[in-house]
Amino acid sequence: MNRRSKMMPFMIVAFSGCAVLSHNFPARPPATAVANVILSVINAADNSTGVPGVEIAIVEANGTQRTLGQTDTWGRVTLSADVLDRSQVILVCHPLFYCGALRREDFIGFRERTIAIAPLVLR
């Protein structure tokens, strides 16, 4: 085998990798591409039990906080796309758990998101 035939597989792989990296992939869709997003809030102690009665609030771009509601019996709440578009941060709070927060970007391209919140431990 001559030197060219030994280098050919390496060159093919190297140039095909460069071609993929130089390709312009489409941008991620905006949050409005998904009509509704289901947010599930679970207990971080076991990573499976839904937490009912968790208050869901958003912080808008101008800094105002608005309460949207609470999770249902299974720890789920449905958020609409227009609510996500207005929000900067989604806050998840319960009196017996530490609060959690998700950025608006965390919902882009997803129909369902889950956040685990840790219970408070009193001694």
| Domains in the chain, CATH or no CATH each | 31-117 (2.60.40.1120)
Between CA 62 and CA 86 the distance in angstroms is 10
Structure tokens at 83: 């609510």
Mean pLDDT of successive 10-residue stretches along the chain, which has 123 residues: 54 49 47 73 91 94 91 94 88 94 88 92 72
Q: What is the pTM of this model?
A: 0.68
Between CA 99 and CA 108 the distance in angstroms is 22
Between CA 123 and CA 121 the distance in angstroms is 7
- Residue 85 pLDDT: 86
- Residue 84 pLDDT: 86
- Residue 31 pLDDT: 46
